[in-house]
Amino acid sequence: MQEIGVETFGAVAKIEKIAFSLEQSISQDFEKETAMAEELSEELILEILSWLPVTSLIRFRCVSKTWKFLISNPYLVKMHLERSARNPEFLLSLVTHRCKRKLFLPGIGSSPFIARFGSLPFLIQNPAPSLDRIFRCPEHYNCVIGSCNGLLSLHDSLYTKEYEEHWVFFWNPATKICSRPSPRLRLNFGFVLPDGVEAGVLYSVHFGFVYDDWRDSYKVLAMVSDPSTYQTSVWVYSMNNICWRRSSMISMGFSTLDHNGCFVNGTVNWIGYPCFVNGTVNWKGYPCKGEWNHEQKILSYDLNNDTCICLSLPKLVPYDRGYASMSVSNGYLCIFVTMLAGLVVLASKDVRDETSWSRLISVSYETLNVIHGKHMLSIIGMWGDLLLLTCLEFGNPSNVIIIFNSKENKVERIEDYNKEFLIDIFSYVPSLISPIM
């Protein structure tokens, strides 16, 4: 493949001139403009196109049948993704305060959210959402459960007195293409909820959205903890399949506060508390048996061999820790640990190798300018050397995003999220990947 250089950038100008003529639809010399492209080799055109934004490529599809074919070329789609991945953006998932109640009570309707894409410098300079950065999904949904190669996986659910159902959509916001809903994953209660008890959540269900490069398939994983048996199973849905497949089961319950599983090095991981069987107790018709383990563990599912194991936290985790959460940064699985004095961040590329963990960051609450016990911190994740947290002061409805630069030991604070409630942040790469395969 040719290296991009002066000749290539000159060719880009020619291609943009063609697109401008098309969009204006008033040029009488469009055929002459198109002829410019014929001076370039197909290889060079593909190289040029791979550097352009998705919005431009969508417009260029209309230039001719040849160009439409070129832009749909799997090689170009892959090469463009590789280029885009070098400068990832992120998705900021927000919901208005008046809709918060809807978001966390399944079965009473979907709640709208605002998803804003942009680079971290853009967020720092423009903390308030603007209309040109707002995206709304074309279908009903409860939340975004993951972002992978430019695709978002969206979740919706239904709850009755006898069962609950979960299903997903795949959406490319850059191309505005959305898939049909997946088949429904039905989880039967095994009994009918008693009179006077409304339909609601019984199972503990948490998701992960990944690309399985070994099988060239996009997958959604549902980690389901059954309260009636205290067993945890992992269900897998591959894009365009006709059903969910139960892949693995372990003999314990598992409860986690993290929204989504973290994918790294072929594994999807959740952090939480296991529950082991220890007798049977019935309360208001809800079967329940087991004893919760107060020590956090990592539930790790291996995509390659469809196995699920429970791992201890690394020995580097301090003994005086509070709740630990996880995220992925630069290909590493990161564990964020809150303590009485501050935060500690650990990282590993192989979660199943206990010796692979190392300490990345240790920062005090004083440095972050927050007061332990007065402010509630939620760790969103890391991008490069930047640690992102949300801070909510008790009694104050305003959200604050704290950005800590570990390299420069510098803190940035972004205020004024008075009307929106921050749900999650995902790494996002605009791409041509189709959610319909």
295 and 163 both lie in a single domain: yes
249 half-sphere exposure, CB direction, 13 A CA radius: 7
Under the banding of pLDDT at 50, 70 and 90, the label for residue 166 is very high
377-436: pLDDT as tens digits: 777 777 778 888 877 777 665 667 788 888 888 887 765 555 556 667 788 889 999 998
Q: Are residues 60 and 154 in the same domain?
A: no
Same domain, 140 and 155: yes
403 is a domain residue: no
Task: Please indicate whether residue 428 or residue 103 has the higher confidence score (pLDDT).
Answer: 428
Burial zone of 357 (CB within 10 Å; 0-12 exposed, 13-18 middle, 19+ buried): buried
Tell me, what's the pLDDT at 17?
A: 59
Average pLDDT score over residue span 353-380 = 84
Query: Is 90 exceeded by the pLDDT of residue 372?
Result: no
Task: Name residue, tokens 């994983």.
Answer: 221
Contacts of 286 (CB under 8 A, 6+ apart): 202, 227
- Please check whether residue 402 lies inside any domain of the structure: no
pLDDT single digits (tens) 127-164: 555 555 666 666 667 678 889 999 999 998 888 888 89
- Quick one: 163 and 309 in the same domain? yes
At which of 84, 110, 127 does a domain end?
84
- Identify whether residues 257 and 108 lie together within a single domain: yes
Verify that 54 and 115 share a domain, yes or no.
no
- If you write DSSP's letter for every residue of 39-76 in order, what string do you get? TS-HHHHHHHHTTS-HHHHHHHTTS-HHHHHHHT-HHH
Is 227 among the domain residues? yes
% of residues, the chain, pLDDT over 90: 19
Same domain, yes or no: 249 and 308? yes
In the chain, how many domains are there?
2
101 and 239 both lie in a single domain: yes
In a domain, 243, yes or no: yes
* Among 241, 211, 237, CA closest to 223: 237
C-beta of residue 206 within 8 angstroms of C-beta of residue 254:
no
Are 79 and 93 in a shared domain?
A: no
Q: Are residues 67 and 14 in the same domain?
A: yes
Q: What is the mean pLDDT of the chain?
A: 76
pLDDT for position 375: 77
Question: Would residue 378 count as lying in a domain?
Answer: no
Q: Where a domain ends, among 30, 61, 84?
A: 84
pLDDT higher than threshold 70 for residue 28: no
**Tens digit of each residue's pLDDT (9 = 90 or more) over 335-356:** 888 888 888 889 998 998 888 9
281 and 136 within one domain:
yes
Give the tens place of pLDDT for each residue, 116-134. 666 766 766 665 555 556 6
In a domain, 165, yes or no: yes
Residue 98 · residue 421 · CB < 8 Å: no
Q: For residues 113 and 323, what is the distance between their CA atoms, to the nearest angstrom?
A: 27
Best mean pLDDT range from 135-144, 287-296, 301-310, 401-410: 301-310
Q: Are residues 72 and 96 in the same domain?
A: no
Contacts of 302 (CB under 8 A, 6+ apart): 266, 267, 308, 309
Indicate the pLDDT class of residue 321, thresholds 50, 70 and 90.
low
Give pLDDT, residue 226.
Answer: 83
The pLDDT value given to residue 67: 81
Among the candidates 84, 113, 145, a domain finishes at 84
Per-residue pLDDT tens for 200-228?
Answer: 567 889 999 999 988 899 999 999 988 77
C-alpha to C-alpha distance for 104 and 423, rounded to whole angstroms: 11
31-75 pLDDT tens trace? 555 555 566 777 888 888 899 999 889 888 887 788 888 898 999
Say if 349 falls within a structural domain. Answer: no
Domain that holds residue 25: 6-84
**Would residue 58 count as lying in a domain?**
yes
